[in-house]
């Protein structure tokens, strides 16, 4: 890994895709102008709404840049050929009529890689709050690691952060930095967001760049915000609570080396395929 300036974009998208996308591009361009060479946009940066609405700004699998939600971000990268932008969760048309929730990796005006969210948020939070992401969103079927000149980047989206086995699989193939674009709900964010992000950094011994939506989106939706960048020791390098913001941090590769040398847990881990569980029934 090389020294790298990373930025997590925090914003509040709504049901107007043109307005949401314009704000995402503005913040992304400002982060690049300020020296960031890894910029992570939050989940649903191009608009928040039901799946049927998101199909209206979804991209086709064979031509991502044909839709404004991707083309505008790709264009923003052209002036910075040494920069990588992770376009949070972008709707991609799925064969079954739903959409994939897809993170795109862009550089120099091109799409380099894509990751389709594996874990879909179907949850009953109590108080009449219920989410059924799988009703309109199709799951992906693979983890994705992107090797860049600066870092090996493991991709994930929002609810994925609750599943440590995904990140261990990414570390097993060389991940040094993990990204978590998200739109965490207020109740789950208040209870778990920072804890989960820091846990993934500590157990994976990786940097984590977690970019979040914040505030009211309309249609009864609201996100927790609290974007942050964490180092491999679990230290928060930069964070913000509320409001639109660019959360910027300098990532020192020495911190990754030091964390992995001090507590070599990645080398000590017993692989799951070698692990036998003894169940003792005393009842």
Token pair 């044909």 is found at 66
Q: Is 216 one of the catalytic residues?
A: no
The residue count of the chain comes to: 283
Sequence-ordered list of residues with C-beta below 8 angstroms from that of 88, at least 6 positions apart, any chain:
40, 41, 42, 43, 44, 45, 103, 157, 181, 211
Measure CA 232 to chain center.
Answer: 17
Active-site residue (options: 28, 43, 92, 133): 43
Q: Is 206 one of the catalytic residues?
A: no
Phi, psi dihedral angles at 22 (to 5 degrees): -60, -40
Active-site residue (options: 28, 65, 92, 117): 117
Six-digit token string for 159: 């609810």
Q: Is 203 one of the catalytic residues?
A: no
Active-site residue (options: 28, 65, 158, 206): 158
Measure CA 144 to chain center.
Answer: 12
Q: H-helix or E-strand containing 21?
A: helix 17-33
User: Which residues are marked as active site?
Assistant: 43, 117, 158
């Amino acid at each position: 890994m090389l020294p790298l300036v990373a930025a997590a974009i925090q914003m509040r998208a709504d049901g107007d895709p043109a307005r949401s996308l314009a704000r995402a591009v503005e913040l992304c361009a400002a982060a690049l102008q300020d020296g960031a060479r890894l910029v992570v946009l939050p989940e649903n940066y191009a608009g928040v709404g039901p799946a049927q609405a998101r199909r209206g700004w979804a991209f086709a699998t064979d031509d991502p840049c044909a839709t404004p939600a991707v083309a505008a971000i790709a264009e923003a990268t052209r002036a910075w050929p040494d920069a990588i932008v992770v376009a949070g969760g972008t709707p991609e048309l799925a064969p079954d009529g739903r959409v994939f929730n897809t993170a795109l990796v862009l550089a120099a005006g091109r799409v380099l890689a894509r990751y389709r969210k594996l874990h879909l948020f179907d949850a009953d939070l109590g108080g009449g709050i219920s989410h059924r992401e799988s009703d309109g969103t199709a799951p992906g079927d693979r983890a994705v690691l992107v090797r860049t000149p600066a870092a090996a980047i493991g991709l994930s989206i929002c609810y994925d952060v609750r599943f440590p086995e995904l990140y261990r699989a990414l570390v097993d193939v060389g991940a040094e930095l993990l990204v978590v674009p998200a739109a965490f709900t207020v109740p789950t964010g208040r209870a778990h967001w920072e804890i989960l992000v820091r846990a993934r950094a500590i157990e994976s011994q990786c940097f984590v760049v977690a970019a979040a939506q914040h505030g009211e989106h309309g249609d009864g939706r609201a996100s927790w915000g609290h974007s942050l960048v964490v180092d491999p020791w679990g230290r928060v390098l930069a964070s913000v609570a509320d409001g639109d913001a660019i959360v910027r941090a300098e990532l020192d590769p020495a911190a990754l080396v030091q964390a992995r040398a001090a507590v070599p847990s990645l080398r000590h881990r017993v692989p799951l395929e070698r692990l036998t569980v003894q169940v003792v029934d005393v009842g």
